[in-house]
Amino acid sequence: MKHWPYAITMLALLIGASCLVGVANIFGGNLDGQMIMMVSRLPRTFAALLTGAGLALAGVVVQMSVQNRLVEPGLVGTPESAMLGLLAITLMAPGAALMVKMSVAAATALIGTLGFLWLARHVPRRDPVLLPLVGLIYGGIIGAAVLWLAWTSDLVQYIGVWQSGEFSGVLQGRYELLWIVAGIAVLIWIAADRITMLGLGEDAASSLGLDYRQTLLGGLILVSIIVAVIVVSVGSVPFVGLVVPNIVSRWYGDNLRRNLPIVAWLGASMVLACDIIGRLIRYPYEIPAGTVFAVLGAGVFLWLLHAAPRQRHD
């Protein structure tokens, strides 16, 4: 992409702004300013970047898996299923290690996503909007079950944290699990051609020699791990996996291997920008980045539905 220098410059400016924006003054030249930068500002910035990139890439995989560009992990019940697993492990083993909680959340997220795929096989494909509506209902049912279980066990406050999608609580030592997303991003890029073939459908992909079900399961495992890590670390951020892949596809076509770095860059940049905006709107108070992105993402999604197709850019 010939615009990469501008993209890198914009990302660097966002990173700089994220490190500088905050209530505490870091320019005093004392130890406290350095500590704030290393313990809070930099971890928060990295967490926002990894969250945005991971959710955007997960959205690509889910869209290819169901052959529908109007879905994302948040519209197929994946975050709600991860929350159900987190709630279950919190009730059964409240002292379990963070990695154990993440593993349980990933397993339940995978089960929930597979349940949606089973439903998707019975949904007519004539209207592309019908499948996201089914996903909303499916995710709502799982979410209602999570809320009921949390209410009966007096753990409703945990649900609020997992749904907030905010980075104010990110500190050094409490976000490192998100670096798993970077490793998964590399695996998705390696498997880009296979993921592209998933978008052709089972019959066409199998005729080209692809083990469709094995590839589908592998892709959904990666998506489940991404969503579980993000929900455990910072909570759910809606619309990222929906609007980012659609914007990139509209501008740069459907060459998935070439588009994946752009998808990761745009997702990371948009989530970090929303986090900065959330810190500035009611300064010195904060609005969660997930809330800001939900408003922005809803508007972008409506634009995508009504805007005329744009000519592809190289």
Please give the span between the terminal C-alpha atoms of the chain, in angstroms, as a whole number.
6
pLDDT of residue 310: 55
Flag whether pLDDT at 300 surpasses 90: no
Beta carbons of 103 and 93 less than 8 angstroms apart: no
pLDDT tens, position by position, 53-73: 999 999 999 998 888 888 888
Flag whether pLDDT at 205 surpasses 60: yes
Flag whether pLDDT at 266 surpasses 90: yes
pLDDT tens, position by position, 245-258: 988 888 887 778 88
Flag whether pLDDT at 19 surpasses 80: yes
What six digits make up the tokens of 279? 């810190």
Beta carbons of 223 and 247 less than 8 angstroms apart: no
Beta carbons of 250 and 303 less than 8 angstroms apart: no
CA distances 15 to 42, 214, 275, 288, Å, are: 9, 38, 11, 18
Average pLDDT of every residue of the chain = 86
CATH fold label, 4-306: ABC transporter involved in vitamin B12 uptake, BtuC (1.10.3470)
What six digits make up the tokens of 179? 């670096």
Flag whether pLDDT at 93 surpasses 90: no
Name the nearest CA neighbour of 289 among 269, 259, 309.
269
Beta carbons of 192 and 57 less than 8 angstroms apart: no
Q: What ranges in 21-77 are assigned the alpha helix state H?
A: 31-36, 42-66
Name the nearest CA neighbour of 132 among 116, 147, 111, 110.
116
pTM surpassing 0.95? no
